[in-house]
Copies of this chain bind each other. A is one copy, B any other.
Amino acid sequence: MSKNADVTEFVALTPSAKVKAARHGWRAKCLQRLIRLDMPVPETLSLPVETVRAIAAGVMPDTAAMVAHFGEDFLVSVRSSPGNPEWGGPGTVLNVGMNDAMHRKLADSHGQEAADALYLRFVQSYAVHVARLDPDMFDAGPGPGALNEALAAFETEMEAPFPQDAARQLAEVLRSMARAWEGTTARLLREAKGAPPDAALGLLVQRMALGVGPGVCGSGTMQFVDSVTGMPRIMGRFRGQSQGRAAAQDTFFLTRDPRGGALEELAPAVFEELRHYGAICRKRLREEMQIEFTVEGGRVAVIDAVRVARSSRAAVKIAVALAEDEVISREDALLRVEPRALSELLHYQVDPRGPRDRFAIGIAASPGAAVGRIVFSATAAQASAARGEPCVLVRRETGPEDIRGMHAAVAVLTERGGMTSHAAVIARGLGLPCIVGCSDVQISWRDRSLRGPGGRMFHEGDQITVDGTNGEVLVGAAEMLEPALDDGFRTLLRWAETVCDIGIRANADTPDDARTARMFDADGIGLCRTEHMFFDEDRLTVMREMIFADTANDRRVALERLLPMQKADFSALFDIMAGQPVCIRLFDPPLHEFLPHDREGLRDLAEALGRPLSEVTRRVEALSEFNPMLGMRGVRLGVTVPEIYDMQARAIFEATVEASRRGAPVVPEVMIPLVSAAREVEIVKTRIDAVAAAVRTEMKADFAYRLGVMVETPRAALRAGEIAEHAHFLSFGTNDLTQMTYGLSRDDAGRFMSAYVNQHVYAEDPFHILDVEGVGELLLMGASRGKAARSDVTISVCGEHGGNPESIAFCRAAGFDYVSCSPFRVPVARLAAAHFALLAPRNRF
């Protein structure tokens, strides 16, 4: 066995030893911290990563010297110490050093039974993990004769007696653990958890704290907060006469419990000592730790301490509590909560501690969980809501006609669609739990039934639970956790706001949306889509009259009937937002979206309009389009049928004057959609300015407004300089911009997007994660050209991407003024923005 001074080094963990996590692993580092805090950590040697790598390559350190280091009664555990606790590592091997001599010695000091158990346990581990013998041959529980059987089996298989030399035992254990780390499966597993390809392992050789023997003996774990709620509470387990992390059965409780004996009663001094160590950890390690300990004859040994595993709501609670106790700074508290985790807190969740009877699984499209009875149509959903019965709307896929059904439902489940399907987008906007693309189920409209895997059937009225957080459909009513919009959550958001250096607005179409936006302290409304306002039944009729008007004048008459309704819409929003900015996008969709396409609908429409069916059919056909996404919509309607924008502008301005009289002054933002040429903006601006002037005169009131452009065609991004000359703000509509940059319809992409992402054709679904390379370049070009032409132009993003941490990082780096996202994404966006503000410097134009 060759030796080398560099790669066979090991160090004793003393308070002054040089121990770094990168070289010795996180566990070595953590143990040294505990030692420095004067905790009773058993004597430990640390083998740094080079030593372990050398062992795997066959170059052994001097194990005899290690044995000598521990002195006469050599009995140790070998534990792994990877660079990061997430990466796993080979399991601990206990009782290295056990041999016939030590067995006899322990029988004298701790009793025969304890000595047998310790030796047996080591023989078993050694046989299986080091000698790689069949585990079945060594699975006998402790009992008379078991030890001798195991030693005999070992000798038969290995054709040699069980090794008695402690140095050799230790060498073999170290080698087997070092090699296990290099195995392909272990590498794949840790890489799946984010470990780099060269992730290294340190090993620890620690004197055994036995946990067996006379007096109070045993082992356990202890933590001081609830992993689910984050509230202060002592949790854990203790098992007498046990070593390491024993099985959960036969467990004692730590604190007094009606179900049985507890450490608190059995050994109050031990219990208090552990509590004391917990408090020290929290204060000095600045974290809630779970302590692993052993008690031997009433003496406590702290074997290890790990960060308490925690739910999202617990993470918030713990971070805020630590900061409020001034253990950590508020900035640290913010950084300790993963932004995406916040979305879990906004909704009811299925309690992870309850039973789950999973029926099917689909794409988790909108987080949160809800229990309701199955309905198969928007009408049924509304009827159910009217009866006060929570319902889940189950559809093959949803369309604009389902919106009111979605409002009435507590959750949505669709057989088709992806993360950016209609159902998913609307549900996220409404904060409604939603599962899409649930191809596990088949909907039968005729039978009003849902057939799941294995032929399991559900019918209309059956109760299910939709878990939109992980995409699972559960049978019946699962146990639920309430939303955690508590003080901790609010405090964290408030702290985030103080450090956040990019605005976070909400996309809000309705008063409910606006109230949610306010609740989450959004910096205003970044996108109010007005077209949803025309789908109410009474409005739809007028809209259709407008569409069928023969002259501009008839059109104006119909629009005049819509004016008070639109004005009421905007008044409500202005009142709720109380002076905060509200950006209203003018009418965007193609008119044919407001027309029926089936025979029955056409007949009804003809009757309602008092026109012959043939004429109605012809005109509906004439309005239909090959590619509606690229058709007669947005500003193209604004230019060719200007009466619609005239009416909307008037509604906005009249509402502005009235709301300003009632409360805070309103400066509305009016946004023109689908612009592709600066001249479009000029034309619309001229008319809107005229409407504003007229309203000022008629209402004898002055008001300002800001006119802007939704940049959602590649050409608008390219020509942003010219466009900005007529615009106070440019807001990138990344949904449409992505569609056009890729030449990819969101509605049609579902059929191949998963294949594309699986084959890494696209790194990510670009409708879900902003395509920084392509669409992102257009954003950067548009923003810099806009700013160059007009330095005070406001730049923002208002697409679905707005709430994603990746997009926020991108927009901050590019100097955008704000992002806008669905109201329920505001907290996530806010916290993500706070993280970036704390971690990265901000570039400005």
Contact (A626, B741) CB under 8 Å given A640-B755, A677-B762: no
Query: Which residues from chain B contact A631 at a C-beta distance below 8 Å?
Result: 745, 748-749
Interface string of A195-229 (1 = CB under 8 A from B): 00000000000000000000000000000000000
**In the complex the two chains form, is B756's CB within 8 Å of A630's CB?**
no
**In the complex the two chains form, is B774's CB within 8 Å of A636's CB?**
no
A748 to chain B, nearest CB (A): 4
Q: How far is the CA of A713 from the CA of B771 in the complex (A)?
A: 14
**In the complex the two chains form, is B677's CB within 8 Å of A627's CB?**
no
Question: Is A580 an interface position by the 8 A CB rule?
Answer: no
Residue count of chain A within 8 Å CB distance of chain B: 48
Question: Is A168 an interface position by the 8 A CB rule?
Answer: no
A675 — nearest CB in chain B belongs to which residue? B743
A702 to chain B, nearest CB (A): 31
Interface string of A745-760 (1 = CB under 8 A from B): 1011101100110011
Which of A116-124, A236-244, A514-522, A714-722 binds B? A714-722
A631 — nearest CB in chain B belongs to which residue? B748
Q: How far is the CA of A205 from the CA of B646 in the complex (A)?
A: 60
**In the complex the two chains form, is A714's CB within 8 Å of B748's CB?**
no
Q: How far is the CA of A679 from the CA of B752 in the complex (A)?
A: 15
A779 to chain B, nearest CB (A): 11
Q: How far is the CA of A719 from the CA of B741 in the complex (A)?
A: 11
**In the complex the two chains form, is B736's CB within 8 Å of A713's CB?**
no
Query: Which residues from chain B contact A680 at a C-beta distance below 8 Å?
Result: 761
**In the complex the two chains form, is A629's CB within 8 Å of B628's CB?**
no
Instruction: Give chain A interface residues in 633-664, CB to chain B under 8 Å.
Output: 636, 639-640
Query: Which residues from chain B contact A625 at a C-beta distance below 8 Å?
Result: 745, 747-748
Query: Which residues from chain B contact A774 at a C-beta distance below 8 Å?
Result: 676, 714-715, 718-719
Contact (A773, B629) CB under 8 Å given A713-B742, A761-B679: no
Query: Which residues from chain B contact A628 at a C-beta distance below 8 Å?
Result: 626-627, 748
Query: Which residues from chain B contact A748 at a C-beta distance below 8 Å?
Result: 625-628, 630-632
A762 to chain B, nearest CB (A): 6
Question: Is A269 an interface position by the 8 A CB rule?
Answer: no
Question: Is A683 an interface position by the 8 A CB rule?
Answer: yes
Query: Which residues from chain B contact A630 at a C-beta distance below 8 Å?
Result: 627, 629-630, 739-740, 742-745, 748
Question: Is A674 an interface position by the 8 A CB rule?
Answer: yes
Question: Is A263 an interface position by the 8 A CB rule?
Answer: no
A747 to chain B, nearest CB (A): 4
Instruction: Give chain A interface residues in 580-634, CB to chain B under 8 Å.
Output: 625-632
Instruction: Give chain A interface residues in 664-706, CB to chain B under 8 Å.
Output: 674, 676-677, 679-680, 683
How many copies of the shown chain assemble into the complex? 2
The winner among A751, A755, A760 for most chain B CB atoms within 10 A is: A751
**In the complex the two chains form, is A719's CB within 8 Å of B773's CB?**
yes
Q: How far is the CA of A674 from the CA of B762 in the complex (A)?
A: 14
Q: How far is the CA of A639 from the CA of B745 in the complex (A)?
A: 17
**In the complex the two chains form, is A718's CB within 8 Å of B627's CB?**
no
Question: Is A778 an interface position by the 8 A CB rule?
Answer: yes
Query: Which residues from chain B contact A626 at a C-beta distance below 8 Å?
Result: 628-629, 745, 747-748
**In the complex the two chains form, is A640's CB within 8 Å of B752's CB?**
yes
Q: How far is the CA of A539 from the CA of B515 in the complex (A)?
A: 60
Q: How far is the CA of A752 from the CA of B638 in the complex (A)?
A: 11
Q: Is the interface of A mostly helix, strand, loop or mixed?
A: helix
Query: Which residues from chain B contact A745 at a C-beta distance below 8 Å?
Result: 625-627, 629-631
**In the complex the two chains form, is A677's CB within 8 Å of B761's CB?**
yes
A252 to chain B, nearest CB (A): 58
A748 — nearest CB in chain B belongs to which residue? B631
Question: Is A272 an interface position by the 8 A CB rule?
Answer: no
A715 — nearest CB in chain B belongs to which residue? B774
Q: How far is the CA of A683 from the CA of B679 in the complex (A)?
A: 42
Query: Which residues from chain B contact A739 at a C-beta distance below 8 Å?
Result: 630
Question: Is A292 an interface position by the 8 A CB rule?
Answer: no
Query: Which residues from chain B contact A775 at a C-beta distance below 8 Å?
Result: 715
Question: Is A712 an interface position by the 8 A CB rule?
Answer: yes
Question: Is A554 an interface position by the 8 A CB rule?
Answer: no
Question: Is A777 an interface position by the 8 A CB rule?
Answer: yes
**In the complex the two chains form, is B736's CB within 8 Å of A743's CB?**
yes
Query: Which residues from chain B contact A627 at a C-beta distance below 8 Å?
Result: 627-630, 745, 747-748
**In the complex the two chains form, is A761's CB within 8 Å of B629's CB?**
no
A169 to chain B, nearest CB (A): 53
**In the complex the two chains form, is A741's CB within 8 Å of B760's CB?**
no
**In the complex the two chains form, is A759's CB within 8 Å of B718's CB?**
no
Q: How far is the CA of A627 from the CA of B771 in the complex (A)?
A: 21
A461 to chain B, nearest CB (A): 27
**In the complex the two chains form, is B718's CB within 8 Å of A639's CB?**
no
The winner among A680, A683, A718 for most chain B CB atoms within 10 A is: A718
Query: Which residues from chain B contact A759 at a C-beta distance below 8 Å?
Result: 639, 679, 683
Interface string of A708-731 (1 = CB under 8 A from B): 000011110011000000000000
Query: Which residues from chain B contact A629 at a C-beta distance below 8 Å?
Result: 626-627, 630, 743, 745
CB < 8 Å: which of B712, B742, B756, B777 contacts A743? B712
Query: Which residues from chain B contact A736 at a C-beta distance below 8 Å?
Result: 743
Query: Which residues from chain B contact A747 at a C-beta distance below 8 Å?
Result: 625-627
Hey, which bits of chain A sit against chain B, CB under 8 A? Answer: 625-632, 636, 639-640, 674, 676-677, 679-680, 683, 712-715, 718-719, 736, 739-745, 747-749, 751-752, 755-756, 759-762, 771, 773-775, 777-778
Q: What 5 additional pairs, Cβ within 8 angstroms, besides A627-B628, A636-B756? A: A626-B745, A627-B745, A629-B743, A713-B743, A714-B774
Can you list 21 A-B contacts with CB-CB less than 8 angstroms, sorted by A residue number?
A626-B628, A626-B745, A627-B627, A627-B628, A627-B747, A630-B630, A630-B745, A631-B748, A636-B756, A639-B761, A676-B744, A676-B774, A679-B762, A680-B761, A713-B744, A718-B774, A718-B777, A719-B774, A736-B743, A740-B740, A740-B741
